[in-house]
C-alpha cells in the first residue's frame, strides 16, 4: 500500500481536529473527484512500518486531536493494510475516533469480509461515490447528497445502516 499524503491537523475531514491519512488507489473514478491524483495505487510513497509508527507517534503526541480520518483514493481498496494501522491506532490512542471515506456503500462493505474487518474498526464511514450531479457544498463532511455519514457501531448492532448525527 502507498500513501499520497498525511495532514497532522485538519478540520475538513470530520468533526474536531483530525489527523488525515490519504491512501493511494481508487477504482471508482468519480467524475469531479477532488483528489483524482490519488487514484493511482503507486502514487506517493510506500506505507512502511517506519512511516506508520511515525504517524502513530505523531497522533499520540498531539493532545488536541479528536480523531483520525482515512481518505484517498479509497482506503477500502487496501483493507488489510488499513485495518492493521487502525488496530495499532486504537491500541496506542484509545480516545481517538476513526472516520473513513469510501466510494463503496456501507452495505457493500459488510458483504466483503476483508472490507468488513476495516469497516468495523471505524466509528464513522462516509459512504457512496461522489456524484457530480448531486454535488452539494452545504452538506458537512461530504460532497454529494447521495453520500451518507454512517454510525458504524449502531449499524452493526442493528444490522442496518444508521446515519451518524452531528452534534
- In tens, the pLDDT along 37-77 reads 999 999 999 999 999 999 999 999 999 999 999 999 999 99
Q: Does a structural domain hold residue 97?
A: yes
Q: Does a structural domain hold residue 103?
A: yes
pLDDT at 126: 98
Query: Domain total for the chain?
Result: 1
For 92, residues 6+ apart whose C-beta sits below 8 A from its C-beta are 56, 59, 60
On the question of pLDDT at 167 being above 90, the answer is no
Burial of 83: CB neighbours in 10 Å, binned 0-12, 13-18, 19+: buried
Q: Does a structural domain hold residue 165?
A: no
Q: Does a structural domain hold residue 166?
A: no
24 contacts 73 by C-beta, under 8 angstroms: yes
Give the range of the structural domain holding residue 67, as residue numbers without chain letter: 2-158
CATH of the domain at 19: 3.20.20.70
Q: Taking the chain, what is the end-to-end CA distance rounded to the nearest angstrom?
A: 34
Of 107, 129, 148, nearest in space to 27 by CA: 129
Predicted confidence band at 11 (pLDDT cuts at 50, 70, 90)?
Answer: very high
Amino acid at each position: 500500500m502507498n500513501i499520497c499524503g498525511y495532514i497532522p491537523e485538519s478540520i475538513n475531514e470530520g468533526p474536531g481536529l483530525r489527523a488525515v491519512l490519504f491512501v493511494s488507489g481508487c477504482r471508482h473514478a468519480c467524475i469531479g473527484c477532488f483528489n483524482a491524483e490519488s487514484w493511482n495505487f503507486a502514487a506517493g510513497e510506500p506505507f512502511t512500518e517506519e512511516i506508520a509508527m511515525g504517524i502513530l507517534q505523531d497522533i499520540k503526541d498531539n493532545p488536541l486531536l479528536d480523531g483520525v480520518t482515512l481518505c484517498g483514493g479509497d482506503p477500502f481498496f487496501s483493507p488489510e493494510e488499513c485495518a492493521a494501522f487502525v488496530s495499532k491506532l486504537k491500541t496506542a490512542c484509545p480516545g481517538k475516533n476513526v472516520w473513513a471515506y469510501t466510494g463503496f456503500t456501507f452495505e457493500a462493505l459488510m458483504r466483503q469480509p476483508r472490507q468488513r474487518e476495516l469497516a468495523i474498526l471505524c466509528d464513522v464511514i462516509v459512504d457512496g461515490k461522489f456524484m457530480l450531479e448531486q454535488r452539494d457544498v452545504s452538506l458537512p463532511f461530504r460532497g454529494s447528497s447521495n453520500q451518507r455519514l454512517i454510525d458504524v457501531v449502531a449499524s452493526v448492532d442493528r444490522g442496518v445502516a444508521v446515519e451518524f448525527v452531528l452534534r
